[in-house]
Structure 1
Amino acid sequence: MLAYLNDFCIRIGWRRPPFPDQRIIPLGPISKASFVCKPYSLVELYDKNESITHAYTWYNFLPKNLFNQAQRVANFYFIALIILNLFSELSPVSPYASIMPFLFVVSLSAFKAGYEDYKRKCADNAINNVPVQVVDLMGNLKTIKSMEITVGDIVFCRANDTFPCDMLLLSSSEESGECFVTTASLDGETNLKQFRSITVTSDLESPESFRKLAGKIVCEQPISDFYKFNGQIYIEYDSMDNVNEMKTYKHILPLSKDNLLLRGARLRNTTYVYGCAIYTGLDTKMSKNSQEKRQKFSRVEDTLNLVLIFIIGLLFILSMSYTIASFAVRASIVNHWYIFVPNETPWRNVDQFFGAVILFNYLIPISLYVTVEFIKAFSTILFRLDAELYDERIDQPAIANTSDVVEEMGQIEYIFSDKTGTLTENCMNFRCFAVASGSYKTHGNKIFFDRPPKIKSSESLETILPDDSMSDEGQEETADLSSDRLALFLHLSLCHTVRVELPAPGEDHLGDDIDLKEASIRSRRGSVTKLTPKRKFSSLRRASAADSASKVFRRLSSRSPTNEKMANIDYDYQASSPDEKAFVVACKKLGVVYHGTDHKGIHIITIGGREAVRYRSLDVLEFDSDRKCMSVILQPAPTKYDSVGSSYCVPSLPVIVLCKGAETSILNKLSKSARRVQAEEIYDDQLVQAIFGRQSKHPTRDYVERKVSHFAEQGLRTLVMAARLLSSDEWQQLQTKLNMARGSLKNREQVLSAAYLQIESELTLLGCTGIEDQLQDGVAETITNLRKAGINFWILTGDKEETAVNISYSAGHFYREMKEVRITNVKDIKNCAKVLQNALDLMEKENSAEFGVVIDGGALGFCLKVALRHMLLALVTKATTVLCCRLTPLQKAEVVRLIKYSRKHDPPVTAAIGDGANDVSMIMEAHVGFGLFGKEGQQAVQAADFAFGRFRFLQRVILVHGHMIYNRITTTMKYFFYKNTVFTLCSVLYGSFCQYSTQTFFTQGYLAAYNVSMTSLPIMIFGIFEKHRSATALQDFPHLYRSISRNAGLRIVDIVCWLILGIWHAIIIFFGCYSLTLKGNESEAISQIFGFGTVVVCCVFTIVTTKLILIARYQNILFHLFILITIFLNAIIFIIVDRVHFPFTFLSPQEFFGVWTQLFTTPSAGLTYFGILIICFVALLPDFILRVYRDQSWTLNLSELIASRQKELAHIRLLKKLKSKTKILKLKSHRKKTAKNVQETIQEEEPSTDQSKIM
Structure 2
Amino acid sequence: MLNNSGPRYKRSQIEQQMNIDVIWCVIILIILCVIGAIGCKMWLASFVAASGNNNETFRIPYLPFEINPDYEGLLAFWTFVIIMQIMIPLSLYVTIELCKIMQVYHIHNCIDLYDSQTNKRTECRAMNITEELGQIQYVFSDKTGTLTENRMIFRRCTIVGVDYNHPETEEEKELTKIGGPVPYLQPNISLVENLNQTIESNQLSGSAEQIQEFFLVLAICNTVVVSATPHKDHMNASGVIELNDSDTSVTLVRPVVTDAIANGTDPASDRYARLTESRSITPSPPPNAPTSLPLKQTHVPSLSPISSSAETSPMSESPPMKLKAITPTARVKSLVAKLPKGPFKSNNKNKFNMNSVKFPKSLSQGSTPSDRRPIFEAESPDELALVNAAYSYDCCLINRSPNHVLVNVPGEGVVEYEVLKILPFDSNRKCMSVVVRKTGTQEVILYTKGADSSIMSSLAPCAPGSEEYRLREQTQHQLNVYARQGLRVLVMAKRKLDATDFSEWYSQHQECELSMENREKKIRESFGLLEHNLTLLGSTGIEDRLQEGVPEAIASLLQSGIVIWVLTGDKTETAINVAYSARLFNPQMDILRLTARSRDSAEACINFYLNEIEKQLNDVDYSIRSDRDKGRALVVDGKTLTFILDLRSNLTKPFLQLTKYCSSVLCCRATPLQKAFLVKVVKEELRMSTLAIGDGANDVSMIQMADVGVGICGQEGMQAVMASDFTIAKFRILEKLLLVHGHWNYDRLARMIIYFFYKNAAFVFLLFWYQLYCGFSGAVMIDEIYLMIYNLIFTALPPLAIGVYDKKIIDDLLLNYPRLYRHGRLGKGYKSYTFWIVMLDALYQSLVIFFVAKAAFWDSDVDVWVFGTTITSSCLFTMLLHCAIEIKSWTILHVLSIVISIGSFYVFAFAYNTVCVSCFGLPSNYWVIHMSMSTVQYYLITALTAVLALLPRFIYRVVENTVWPGEGVRVTLQYKEEKRREPPITGLRIRL
Superposed pair shares fold, TM > 0.5: yes
Q: Which residue of 1 aligns with 2:610?
A: 844
Q: Which residue of 2 aligns with 1:988?
A: 768
Q: Does 1:363 align with 2:363?
A: no
Q: How far, CA to CA, are the matches of 1:1034 and 1:1122 in structure 2?
A: 27
Q: How far, CA to CA, are the matches of 2:832 and 2:225 in structure 1?
A: 69
Aligned partner (choices 1147, 1160, 1182) of residue 933 of structure 2: 1160
Q: Give the C-alpha shift of residue 629 in structure 1.
A: 8.0
The one-letter code of the counterpart of 1:1110 is I
Q: Which residue of 2 aligns with 1:282?
A: none
Task: String of CA shifts for 1:879-912, please: whole Å, max 9, x gaps.
Answer: 34364856467x7666555444436xxx444444
Q: Which residue of 1 aligns with 2:956?
A: 1186
Q: Which residue of 2 aligns with 1:1037?
A: 817
The one-letter code of the counterpart of 2:28 is L
Q: Does 1:378 align with 2:85?
A: no
Q: Which residue of 1 aligns with 2:111?
A: 387
Is contact 2:7-2:722 (8 Å) kept? no
Change (3 A) 1:442 1:1010: same
The one-letter code of the counterpart of 1:1157 is H
Q: How does 1:649-728 map to 2 (within 5 A)?
A: 662=452, 705=477, 709=480, 711-718=482-489
Q: How far, CA to CA, are the matches of 1:672 and 1:1041 in structure 2?
A: 57
Is contact 1:409-1:961 (8 Å) kept? yes
Q: Does 1:1126 align with 2:906?
A: no
Moved more, 514-523 or 836-845: 514-523
Q: Which residue of 2 aligns with 1:237?
A: none
Q: How does 1:455-854 map to 2 (within 5 A)?
A: 494=215, 496-498=217-219, 507-510=229-232, 518=243, 521=248, 534=323, 536=325, 543-544=333-334, 570-572=373-375, 578-579=381-382, 581-582=384-385, 585=388, 592-595=393-396, 604-605=409-410, 662=452, 705=477, 709=480, 711-718=482-489, 760=535, 770-794=541-565, 817-821=590-594, 837-838=603-604, 840-847=606-613, 850-854=633-637
The one-letter code of the counterpart of 1:1022 is I
Aligned to 1:425, the other structure's residue is in SS state coil
Is contact 1:821-1:852 (8 Å) kept? yes
Is contact 1:502-1:541 (8 Å) kept? no
Q: How far, CA to CA, are the matches of 2:134 and 2:473 in structure 1?
A: 51
Q: Which residue of 1 aligns with 2:32?
A: 318
Q: How far, CA to CA, are the matches of 1:1028 and 1:953 in structure 2?
A: 21
Q: How far, CA to CA, are the matches of 2:756 and 2:967 in structure 1?
A: 29
Change (3 A) 1:750 1:909: closer
Q: How far, CA to CA, are the matches of 1:391 and 1:381 in structure 2?
A: 17
Task: String of CA shifts for 1:2-30, please: whole Å, max 9, x gaps.
Answer: xxxxxxxxxxxxxxxxxxxxxxxxxxxxx
Q: Does 1:442 align with 2:167?
A: yes
Is contact 2:758-2:839 (8 Å) kept? yes
Is contact 1:737-1:755 (8 Å) kept? no
The one-letter code of the counterpart of 1:404 is N
Q: Give the C-alpha shift of residue 743 in structure 1.
A: 6.4
Aligned to 2:154, the other structure's residue is in SS state strand
The one-letter code of the counterpart of 1:496 is V
Q: Which residue of 2 aligns with 1:1071?
A: 851
Is contact 2:195-2:410 (8 Å) kept? no
Change (3 A) 1:320 1:744: closer
Q: Give the C-alpha shift of residue 793 in structure 1.
A: 4.1
Q: How far, CA to CA, are the matches of 1:659 and 1:339 in structure 2?
A: 98
Is contact 2:485-2:577 (8 Å) kept? no
Change (3 A) 1:439 1:561: closer
Aligned to 1:1187, the other structure's residue is in SS state helix
Q: How does 1:850-999 map to 2 (within 5 A)?
A: 850-854=633-637, 859=642, 863=645, 867=648, 871-876=651-656, 878-879=658-659, 880=662, 881=665, 883=667, 887=671, 896-902=679-685, 907-915=687-695, 919-935=699-715, 938-999=718-779
Aligned to 1:852, the other structure's residue is in SS state strand
Change (3 A) 1:927 1:995: same
Change (3 A) 1:1076 1:430: same
Q: How far, CA to CA, are the matches of 1:926 and 1:414 in structure 2?
A: 10
The one-letter code of the counterpart of 1:1104 is M
Change (3 A) 1:350 1:756: closer
Q: Does 1:1149 align with 2:918?
A: no
Q: How far, CA to CA, are the matches of 1:758 and 1:1038 in structure 2?
A: 54
Q: How far, CA to CA, are the matches of 1:1140 and 1:1077 in structure 2?
A: 27
Q: Which residue of 1 aligns with 2:803?
A: 1023
Q: How far, CA to CA, are the matches of 2:527 and 2:920 in structure 1?
A: 92
Is contact 1:742-1:752 (8 Å) kept? no
Q: How far, CA to CA, are the matches of 1:840 and 1:1181 in structure 2?
A: 56
Task: String of CA shifts for 1:341-392, please: whole Å, max 9, x gaps.
Answer: 9544432332333333434333322321221121122222222222222233
The one-letter code of the counterpart of 1:319 is C
Aligned to 1:1049, the other structure's residue is in SS state coil
Q: How far, CA to CA, are the matches of 2:450 and 2:711 in structure 1?
A: 36
Q: Give the C-alpha shift of residue 1088 in structure 1.
A: 2.6
Q: Which residue of 2 aligns with 1:1113?
A: 888
Q: Which residue of 2 aligns with 1:253?
A: none
Moved more, 658-667 or 1174-1183: 658-667
The one-letter code of the counterpart of 1:975 is Y
Q: How far, CA to CA, are the matches of 2:792 and 2:679 in structure 1?
A: 41
Q: Give the C-alpha shift of residue 403 in structure 1.
A: 2.3
Is contact 2:17-2:832 (8 Å) kept? no
Q: How far, CA to CA, are the matches of 1:914 and 1:1193 in structure 2?
A: 45
The one-letter code of the counterpart of 1:1100 is C
Change (3 A) 1:1099 1:537: farther
Q: How does 1:391-470 map to 2 (within 5 A)?
A: 391-418=115-142, 421-431=145-155, 442-444=167-169
Q: How far, CA to CA, are the matches of 1:751 and 1:1044 in structure 2?
A: 51
Q: How far, CA to CA, are the matches of 1:718 and 1:1170 in structure 2?
A: 81
Q: How far, CA to CA, are the matches of 1:943 and 1:662 in structure 2?
A: 31
Q: Does 1:1053 align with 2:833?
A: yes
Q: Give the C-alpha shift of residue 587 in structure 1.
A: 7.5
Q: Does 1:1197 align with 2:922?
A: no
Q: How far, CA to CA, are the matches of 1:1060 and 1:566 in structure 2?
A: 81
Aligned to 2:906, the other structure's residue is in SS state helix
Q: Give the C-alpha shift of residue 992 in structure 1.
A: 2.9
Change (3 A) 1:876 1:936: same
Is contact 2:484-2:574 (8 Å) kept? no
Q: Give the C-alpha shift of residue 1104 in structure 1.
A: 0.7
Is contact 1:629-1:659 (8 Å) kept? yes
The one-letter code of the counterpart of 1:350 is L
The one-letter code of the counterpart of 1:1173 is A
Is contact 2:125-2:726 (8 Å) kept? yes
Is contact 2:594-2:602 (8 Å) kept? no
Change (3 A) 1:911 1:744: same
Q: How far, CA to CA, are the matches of 2:939 and 2:170 in structure 1?
A: 86
Q: Does 1:1139 align with 2:914?
A: yes
Change (3 A) 1:806 1:491: farther
Q: How far, CA to CA, are the matches of 1:395 and 1:446 in structure 2?
A: 24
Change (3 A) 1:982 1:344: same
The one-letter code of the counterpart of 1:821 is L
Percent of residue pairs identical: 25
Change (3 A) 1:1154 1:798: same
Q: Give the C-alpha shift of residue 1113 in structure 1.
A: 1.2
TM-score by length of 1: 0.54
Is contact 2:710-2:721 (8 Å) kept? yes
**Residues matched between the structures, number:** 808
Q: Give the C-alpha shift of residue 1100 in structure 1.
A: 1.0
Is contact 2:489-2:571 (8 Å) kept? no
The one-letter code of the counterpart of 2:91 is S
Aligned to 2:121, the other structure's residue is in SS state coil
Task: String of CA shifts for 1:672-726, please: whole Å, max 9, x gaps.
Answer: 66869xxxxxxxxxxxxxxx9xxxxx99968973x65554344222457899xxx
Q: How far, CA to CA, are the matches of 2:611 and 2:584 in structure 1?
A: 23
